[in-house]
Amino acid sequence: MDKREKGQTITIKINGKDRPFKEAHSEDADTKKKTEYNKRLDKDEYVTRYETAAAEESLEESFDWILPELTDEPKVAEKKIADETIKNKNKGWSGAANRKTSQGIFTSIFFSVFLAILLGVSFGLILLKSVITDNSAEEIEEPIPAADEVKPAAGTASANVPPISAFIVQEGVYSTSEAAEKAKSAVEQKGAPAHIVNMNEQFFVYLSVADSMENAKEIGSGLKSNGINVFAKPLDFGGKQLSGLQETERKLLESAPALYEILARAASEASLTNSISRETAESLNKQGEVIFQIEEAALKNNNLKKLRDRLVNAIERANAIQKSTELEKVKELQNELLSFLAAYQSL
């Protein structure tokens, strides 16, 4: 059976009429196949495009990608940049190390120079100060003190402290200063003079002095009438050896016992008769001139200064009694003489 050529038609008669029929099933089938293929292609392309668009949209929402051009030159540049970065990094570390080393050396040099300068300035100031001090010591002369400020140097004289025989009206003796002070206050409240003398770690409460034992007892009798328990006794003060004295101090010690004897007689007369006899007053003035000639500034020993002050005050009290026979002045005279005996004992 011969094959028909493509495009040939078949003539069919229907109802006596020729009806040409073109065989196109093959072409129609091909066209149909193509149409279906294209549809599938379009459909696949649409699905692919839709998925691609969805993927691109998702990526656009998440990240912004910048894709470099895939060429060989960036790799080379990147390598060069990396190499330069590493070189610069290494260079930076080495530079910093070099800078630290140089800074450390500079700091050490700076501190060394600073310490050297400081030591040099310190030694220079010390030397300058010593030079100025020496020059000042040579140039400045010590001021000459006034006459009343002159302190006598230690003397070379020696003297025995002459013993003084005293007759004392005593209230009592106590082992503590507190008990003695309490007894003294009680006596003074009754109108009698009182003085505490510390001897041999004991505290004696003395009320009056007298020029004899008889006068001491008579004075004690008058105190007993005021309700004070007393007794009379003789006592010796002094008898020590002193050295390193000035001539004026030695003269004071030699004249003190005779002056005290006259003052004790004046105190006895004033306590018993409220007056001082003319004879006693004349002797007192004559002997007192020796004490007044000894200036206090010429005395170095503090105890001797107190000794002189007590004698001077006693003379003044005795002179006051000659003008007025007040009982208070008699008490003051007795207190000054008791203070004199205490100072004389402490020499």
- Determine the pLDDT at residue 167: 96
CB atoms < 10 A from the CB of 104, how many?
10
303 confidence band (pLDDT: 50, 70, 90)? confident
Average pLDDT of span 19-27:
49
pLDDT of residue 34: 53
Q: What is the pLDDT of residues 210-223, one digit of tens each?
A: 999 999 999 999 99
Q: How far apart are CA 339 and CA 82, in angstroms?
A: 112
pLDDT in tens, 267-302: 999 999 989 999 999 999 999 998 899 888 888 888
Position 93 scores a pLDDT of 43
Q: What is the dihedral of CA 257, 259, 264, 266, to 10 degrees?
A: 170
How do the domains of the chain map onto residue ranges?
A: 9-59, 163-345
CA–CA distance from 173 to each of 23, 190, 230 (Å)?
A: 176, 19, 11
Q: Which two tokens stand for residue 203?
A: 């505290």
Q: Is the pLDDT of residue 107 over 90?
A: no
Give the residue, 258 or 4, on which the prediction is more confident: 258
Lowest mean pLDDT among 88-97, 120-129, 269-278: 88-97
pLDDT value, residue 301: 86
CATH fourth-level superfamily of 163-345: Sporulation related repeat (3.30.70.1070)
Looking at residue 212, the DSSP 8-state letter turns out to be S
> How much of the chain, in percent, has pLDDT values that exceed 90?
32
